[in-house]
Amino acid sequence: MNIARQLWRHPLRTVRRYYRRCRYDYASAPCVPETLNTAVLFVPKRIGDGMAVFPVIRALQARDVPRIVIVASVYNEIVFRWLNDPRVEVVTLADGESPRLAREVARDLVSRHGSTDLCVEGTMRDSAAASRFVGTLRARCNLQLAGPVLRCYAPLAGGARSLHEQGGARPHCWAALMREAGIADVPGGYEFPLAADDERRVRRSVEALGPYVALNLDGSHPARQLSVSQGQCLCELLWQVHGLPVLMVFGPDGEKKARQLAAATPVARILPMAVSLPHSAAIVKHAALVITPDTAVLHMASAWNRPTLGLFARPQRRWRPLAEHSAMIVTGQHLADLDMDEVAKALTVLPRHGQAEDERDATPHH
């Protein structure tokens, strides 16, 4: 679309976009420098986005970059908290949509660390915050997967971007970009490092329960949420097909619904511990089966190769489950339309208790 048509259709948006290009764009290296002393990953987004960019982190670690700075959000900072690598610094951006805060963080990094050799922009959007961050940081080279809206991004146009445009899974796309950029060849998978204490507490709590199914009812959008009555039907099906108890996984907003379900059916349980994202992740890590709408819990199951039934309101390829044994059900518009007969059919093809036990200590599937 040429500029005249853009101005006609979206005048204010077009003016802002071209202002950003004039104000923050600059000439940078067309390829990744041979020597990388400081690399910055800009990903102030949600939990799933944070888990998906781990191929970038692992590639930078494999390249032995001495300083790796991750600019995260208040939502996904916890994903990077337990990397346990002295080379990694995590900076939290209070509002990932704020251009002013993004610019301040970039200025602070420049004042503390000097010049940056590589910046990987991981928001996947043409946003004012990302443009100001990149344009203020002024790294020697910049990488972006979604397509170069600024000329300061390295002009990579090979397999990684093609994979992204075709709906490839996000971790696969990031791993492909790291290979294409010549940084390192690493697997493409989700990750969520856990603190040993968090995992130990959960394992002690579930020990008496035996094998269990981790069930999450809520997604980030109303169309991705299941009702308590649907949860009851799922629990009955799970008991009939797999004969396993159900352990609820939920965040603070979903606690009331989870407790209602646990009170309505003896199959569903809630662990007697504080609600926290690491605890939920540990429950997923040690489950025999995970059932969840399209949300971060789905990617946790992929991170640890847990058998997964993903429930989607609409077709989705980029965020599909990556576990070796997984199934997807797409309702079309809203999970209120979920067909329990279809769920029952999907459950019969997922691993039963014995198979899940054999895979419990498997390495993550990429």
Contacts of 157 (CB under 8 A, 6+ apart): none
pLDDT for the residue 128 = 86
CA-to-CA distance for 88 and 224, rounded, in angstroms? 34
DSSP string, 58-106: HHHHHTT-SEEEEEEETTTHHHHTT---TTEEEEEES-TT-HHHHHHHH
Residue partners of 90: CB distance under 8 A and separation at least 6: 69, 70, 72, 77, 80, 81, 83
pLDDT at 220: 81
Q: What are the φ/ψ torsions at residue 79 (nearest 5 degrees)?
A: -65, -30
In angstroms, rounded to a whole number, what is the distance separating the alpha carbons of residues 308 and 233? 18
Note the pLDDT tens digit of each residue in 47-102.
Answer: 999 999 999 999 999 999 999 999 999 999 999 999 999 999 999 999 988 999 99
Evaluate if residue 18 carries a pLDDT over 70: no
Q: pTM value?
A: 0.90
Instruction: Give the number of other Cβ atoms within 10 Å of residue 322's Cβ.
Output: 23
The confidence score (pLDDT) of residue 363 equals 44
Least-confidence region, from 22-31, 226-235, 282-291: 22-31
Q: What is the pLDDT of residue 118?
A: 98
The pLDDT assigned to 362 comes to 45
Give the three-class secondary structure for 145. coil
Top-confidence residue, 219 or 285:
285
Query: Tokens for 326?
Result: 């997984």
pLDDT at 312 over 90: yes
- Of residues 24 and 356, the one with the higher pLDDT is 24
pLDDT-derived band at 316 (thresholds 50, 70, 90) equals confident
* 156-192 tens-digit pLDDT: 767 898 898 899 999 999 999 999 999 999 999 999 9
3-state secondary structure of 224: helix
Is the pLDDT reported for residue 354 higher than 60? no
DSSP, residue by residue, 269-294: E--SS---HHHHHHHHHT-SEEEEES
H/E element holding 173? helix 170-180
Q: How confident is the model at residue 361 (pLDDT cuts 50, 70, 90)?
A: very low
Q: Cα–Cα distance between 241 and 218 in angstroms, integer?
A: 23
Contact 110, 84 (CB under 8 A): no
In this predicted structure, what is the pLDDT of residue 352?
Answer: 63
How large a percentage of the chain has pLDDT more than 90? 73
| 15, pLDDT greater than 90 | no
Residue 218 in this model has a pLDDT that exceeds 50: yes
Q: Which residues, at least 6 apart from 213, have a Cβ–Cβ distance to it below 8 Å?
A: 238, 242, 244, 245, 246, 247, 287, 288, 289, 290, 291
Sheet holding 88-93, edge to edge: 88-93, 67-73, 38-42, 118-121, 141-144
How does the average pLDDT of the chain come out, rounded? 90
Rounded-to-integer distance, Cα 146 and Cα 276, Å: 32
